[in-house]
Amino acid sequence: MKPIFSIVLLAISMNAFGQILGFGGDMSGYYSKTSFSPTQTFESITIIGTLMLKNDIWIIHGTTGNAGDLQDYYPGNLTKPFMVDGLRVSVNATLDPIPEDVKMAGKPITIVTIQKI
């Protein structure tokens, strides 16, 4: 009985140890990185807009080029100095793919350059 208890205790502790160190990685991040073709090219855009906090998510509410229609963009790599509600910015970015069956706060983008206006 004692060896079985030791084996069970060892299995539980190894499982807990693996979860603490994060073996296996973040599944949502891993999924989003591998669910798209690596040869896929992404459109480069310039956005003029205003940073807004929508619930807990920072978005850029603005226009691209001469389009004139306002849209929301979700910058995945926005840095802290620019996390100011109402800040006007000019952003050069690339459009990221939208995962299937996911409702997003805005079109996902990766910021290349950002400037305060």
Q: How many helices (DSSP H) and strands (DSSP E) are in the chain?
A: 2, 5
Q: What's the rounded Cα separation, in Å, for the pair 67 and 50?
A: 16
Which residues, at least 6 apart from 50, have a Cβ–Cβ distance to it below 8 Å? 60, 61, 62, 86, 87, 88, 89
Between residues 110 and 10, the one the model is more confident about: 110
Give the HSE-up count for residue 37: Cα atoms under 13 Å, Cβ half-sphere.
4
Q: Are the C-beta atoms of 105 and 53 separated by less than 8 Å?
A: no
Nearest to 93 by CA among 40, 27, 46, 28: 46
Is 59:104 a contact under the CB 8 Å cutoff?
Answer: no
What does the DSSP 8-state code read for residue 11? Answer: H
pLDDT confidence tier of residue 8, bands split at 50, 70 and 90: low
Global model pTM greater than 0.75:
no
pLDDT of 21 higher than 50: no
